[in-house]
Amino acid sequence: MSIGKFKMLCLTVGVAVSFTGIPAIAEDDPSAICFSAATLAKEGDIAGALEEARWCVTQLEQLMQQQVSSFFPDEVNGYTAGEIKKEQVMGMTMIERNYSKDDNTISVSLTGGGSSGSANAFSALALMGMQMGGMGQKIRIQKRSAAVIDENNSVQVVVTLKSGGMLTFESREASSDTVVAFAKKFPVAKLDDSRN
């Protein structure tokens, strides 16, 4: 059964249940979906349980993205934030928000795996690449390792998160000192801790 058909079935059942006086469960409530997956598995409906389990994981990942997005504040160090953009491709998640002040824009992006295992693998590969390439000046931001890369008319401050993944601050207009100062004011530690 496709997700679209399943959602339609849930909506139909929800309407039917509401008419019988039994309280309907929210269609996208992860705890209800995960419970449904476990129930289907117990009943021997493995295909149905897998479909429900996938939808459960999708909903939980979206909840985590919303939680993490709350640590991209509307204002940092005098810079005003734009719209939050979220993408998820092949198990990798990216959340991005641009911050502007005068003629400077600093782009902040969080990249990592949807699960802690893939996030840690991604983080380890990226860190190894930075170390092997000898890229940038090494610094610490809120007790996290970071590298400042200033080349090709672009400044990047790449922070390796303890929870896995990378938090990147990038600007084509601002100086490296400005981007580092911005990164130090950003709630890096709180965002990182929220992902554990």
Residue 181: what pLDDT?
Answer: 95
What does pTM read for this prediction? 0.64
Residue 24 pLDDT > 80, yes or no? no
Contacts of residue 144, defined as CB under 8 A and 6 or more positions apart, other chains included, come to: 159, 160, 161, 162, 188, 189, 192
Task: Tell me which of 5-19, 105-119, 128-142 is least confident.
Answer: 5-19
The candidate with the shortest Cα–Cα distance to 175, out of 97, 78, 110, 104, is 104
User: For all residues of the chain together, what is the average pLDDT?
Assistant: 77
Distance in angstroms (rounded) separating the CA atoms of residues 58 and 114: 9
